[in-house]
Chains A and B, each alone.
Chain A
């Protein structure tokens, strides 16, 4: 096409009537391109935590099959608390998801076992992620971690139990919500933030590399307000969600069906938080752990733990020094229960 033809095509005068059609077609085309962009280039604009989900999803779906002596499944606390490469004698992987609940733990294990193998599983979920889910749509759906079928299953169970792990998850036509989350307009807040934060793409890329290089471990970026108290210090009582309890039990049962032992490990909180957590809350959480141990094949490595505040990046997450300490502790306890011949 000659330059003149291009110029005529774009800049040649048209009738106003035909321009209405052009605007409609151009609008639809641009929306389609934007849909492709938000679905395929999420690393460019999504928040940092989201990278954790895409990385794990890509690993679970696409990585070469691997065998581990043990894997850790949990939420952001265990993601920032366990460093697989810290101990070179045991092969391990951190499959934790920031904001992950027992639902994502179950799906993570299910997908992991389709391609990979492990000798043991460590489960570690913060108590408030057993009381309610704050991420079903925001991260699970946006990252594509939950398929439409997964969502159907979760909602069928939720309806049966009459528990949605938080009223905000109680929506009409949940599968339609899954498709809704494919629309670019849903990502407008992230796109706007990314547009005014040019470092986003670079930070995401380096975070993704860290996750890949450190087998799922990622440190939480430094908080503007270090110190402070963890989330459960603001809660009066611990009540497990029936839906999340069901998925805890499904996770343990799935591992048992494959002959793999499952261990429970509670990630430490700071000594300041330990002192501030309500006694009733702590006791109810420990009672829940013990109940699971009594009623399922779950094995327990610890019930609770407190570390010095300087081992934390911010109130809820360990820093690297804290993570090394926790990794040593977890492996020591695990070795005492599981492995007589490490690395074999």
Chain B
């Protein structure tokens, strides 16, 4: 089931919420949580019921290993039973490896060695990349003794809670589990419902109006590139920027909807985006894009590898490893690996550029409007260029489009731009560059969430939310508009990861 469908909006969500609060208000908190687990499994199984078994197996094994690790810690008072931790991580990576990467490895082995091993095509269980990462974090923290006395029901709800199950935000147990322990979570609060609704509807708007409005044109441009059709410089850049916007509004729209849904149930989920297209350099960008994934990779990969504590060479190597693995996490294809590698290079260049400027005595914190504009333009353009590899189905297809973008097949555009959704592209850039993000808008937060929290600049057009009739009517309008446009619900792009 997807958020942007009639069955979810008109049936699943109201029924799930009504039963949850009915049970919760009468003090049946455990029953309410059990109901939420059942509803979440139904939500997941709607897509492909047989993959519920994969989810069950993953939860059961991780819970068993996690509680064993907790007991080991309790007995010795220090992290103990490392082999069990390694076994747990191996189990998770093995599951992910089988479902996500087996065909990729077989294909590459065949290409390299000339063998002809054949493995039937394995369908990737939805959300496996997300729930695997959450559970690896759970095992690591169990090993370190950071988790105590967690029941199976609470653990299952932490993994399966439907707003975040499919495509994140990647939730850390320490963020969400304490919220389920609070009695107030189980009583409906008008404030939570309205704020949750605002997040959900504005996220739906991002997805249905902007992202889906761009998808046909993006499919056309990238489809033509796959067929080897030269596009000319203008069409290819318009296509690349269109995908840049589509990906952002699709994924951030999904994240906003997830955050809104969590909020309706009284659960605050972590922010996943913080106006990434306002980033003035690529380092800044990665602090704002898919924040829960970058936080996970930093805490459970970059820092254990040594982070920046072991000299510049090791630091840059660690950075590269993290970005390459981040690319590989997105998909079993060399395109994703190269995409990750490109960003590793971008980050290292940016780091040395900043060091160079600092050595010249420049104050990096003081910027001019023009300087920021150039920085934003360059960052978004680098991102758009790298996303060609992210979106293209094959390396050859990506090369065709990149060749066109850099004028290698001529300056003049060969296909008409008449059907390009220029209005939606302009709307997308207007929203991304000029308006506050939803956290700024709805909650008045002027800081990015997470450990690297820092002050955000005021938006060019600093619209603010307030609980009044104008906003309520606007939300109703957005709801009706989206309802009218849900005739062809499309999956979120990140569902494939």
Chain A contact residues, CB within 8 Å of chain B: 9-17, 19-20, 22-24, 26-27, 30-31, 34, 184-185, 188-189, 191-192, 196
Contacts and interface: CB of A to CB of B under 8 A. Distances in A.
27 contacts: A9-B469, A10-B468, A10-B469, A11-B468, A11-B470, A13-B466, A14-B467, A14-B468, A14-B472, A16-B467, A19-B190, A19-B467, A19-B468, A19-B469, A20-B190, A22-B469, A22-B476, A23-B194, A23-B197, A24-B476, A26-B472, A27-B479, A30-B476, A34-B480, A185-B483, A185-B484, A188-B487
Interface centre among B189, B213, B483, B484 (most CB of A within 10 A): B484
A11 B487 CA distance: 33
B106 interface: no
A343 to B, nearest CB: 49
Contact of B193 (A15, A16, A30): A16
Given A15-B190, A192-B485, A30 B468 contact: no
B468 A23 contact: no
A242 to B, nearest CB: 33
Contact of A11 (B191, B193, B466, B480): B466
B480 A15 contact: no
B368 interface: no
Given A14-B467, A16-B467, A22-B473, A27 B480 contact: yes
Contacts of A17: 190
A31 B480 contact: yes
B487 A23 contact: no
A13 B194 contact: no
A281 B461 CA distance: 67
Contacts of A23: 194, 197, 472-473, 475-476, 479
A13 B191 CA distance: 13
Interface string B186-204: 0001110110010000000
Contacts of A14: 467-469, 472
B306 interface: no
B484 A27 contact: no
Interface string B10-30: 000000000000000000000
**5 A-B pairs closest in CB distance:** A26-B476, A16-B190, A22-B472, A27-B476, A17-B190
B239 interface: no
Contacts of B469: 9-12, 14, 19, 22, 26
Interface of B: 189-191, 193-194, 197, 213, 421, 466-473, 475-477, 479-480, 483-487
Nearest to B471: A19
A269 to B, nearest CB: 32
Contact of A26 (B190, B477, B486, B487): B477
Contact of B467 (A13, A30, A188, A191): A13
Given A19-B194, A22-B476, 8 more contacts: A11-B470, A15-B190, A34-B480, A34-B484, A185-B483, A188-B487, A192-B485, A196-B213
Contacts of B191: 16
A89 to B, nearest CB: 46
Contacts of A192: 484-485, 487
A314 B327 CA distance: 50
A32 to B, nearest CB: 10
Contacts of B468: 10-14, 19
A13 B468 CA distance: 5
Interface centre among A10, A17, A23 (most CB of B within 10 A): A23
Given A22-B469, A23-B472, A23-B475, A30 B480 contact: yes
A110 B107 CA distance: 69
Interface centre among A9, A12, A26, A34 (most CB of B within 10 A): A26
A22 to B, nearest CB: 4
Nearest to B488: A189
Nearest to A11: B468
B196 to A, nearest CB: 11
Nearest to A184: B484
A240 B468 CA distance: 62
A188 B190 contact: no
A194 to B, nearest CB: 12
A20 B194 contact: yes
Contacts of A188: 484-487
Given A13-B468, A188-B484, A20 B476 contact: no
A188 B480 CA distance: 11
A16 B479 CA distance: 18
A344 B213 CA distance: 59
A259 B25 CA distance: 76
B304 to A, nearest CB: 44
Contacts of A30: 476-477, 480
Contact of B484 (A9, A191, A196): A191
Nearest to B212: A192
A12 B476 CA distance: 18
